[in-house]
Amino acid sequence: MSLVTLLVLPKLESFLTPDLSGTARHLIGVIQSLHDEAESSRQIYRLNYDLDAGEYWASMVNQKEDSPESNPVFVKHVALPDRIRFKDIVTLHQGKVAEGTAFTQFYPSGRVEKTLIHLTLDKDQVLTLMINPLNGSVKIYDHYIEPEDKNKSAL
């Protein structure tokens, strides 16, 4: 019985414990897909974040009204796993957002609004996702990256 417990318990714990890096990988996949779709369709897209609800989704921006369509595209509302939260989102135009909603904009030219996404697990583990504005690539850091001072440079 103890042998079975030794073999099964680690797998059970990893199944029950939220995976911060897995959540980050999924979000990176969404970011890369939106970058590619914006460039190929010549449309503006947004990756929306609801920090209070712990959700994110993608929407297309109506270029005539400069507002996102109400129906999510590609990614419907995705809830972060239990105990994983957005600590904050930092963008060039919105600054640091710690509650409410924020978004990252993806342009038809292939550019993306530079964004820092801080994910946290139980407030003691933090990952930072940094979106490169030139090509939409994402760097991941295993600690909190402070936004640059706006007086020095943008974000």
Q: What is the CATH number of the domain that holds 58?
A: 3.55.40.10
Which pLDDT score, from 0 to 100, does residue 19 have? 86
Overall average pLDDT of the 103-127 stretch: 94
- Assess whether pLDDT exceeds 50 at residue 151: no
Find the domain containing 129 and state its range: 2-141
Residue 154 lies in a domain: no
Overall average pLDDT of the 11-31 stretch: 77
Which pLDDT score, from 0 to 100, does residue 86 have? 97
Residue 146 lies in a domain: no
Which pLDDT score, from 0 to 100, does residue 2 have? 54
Residue 98 lies in a domain: yes
Strand 101-106 and strand 95-97: the pairing is unpaired
Residue 151 lies in a domain: no
Overall average pLDDT of the 89-113 stretch: 96
Residue 131 lies in a domain: yes
User: Given 3-state DSSP classes, what are the helix, strand and coil percentages for the chain, each rounded to the nearest 5?
Assistant: 25, 35, 40
Overall average pLDDT of the 53-57 stretch: 96
Residue 89 lies in a domain: yes
Residue 155 lies in a domain: no
CA dihedral over 99, 101, 107, 110, signed as positive or negative: positive
Lowest mean pLDDT among 93-97, 124-128, 146-150: 146-150
User: Beta strands of 2-145 (E only): which ranges?
Assistant: 45-50, 55-62, 67-68, 78-79, 84-91, 95-97, 101-106, 115-121, 125-131, 138-141
What is the total count of domains within the chain? 1
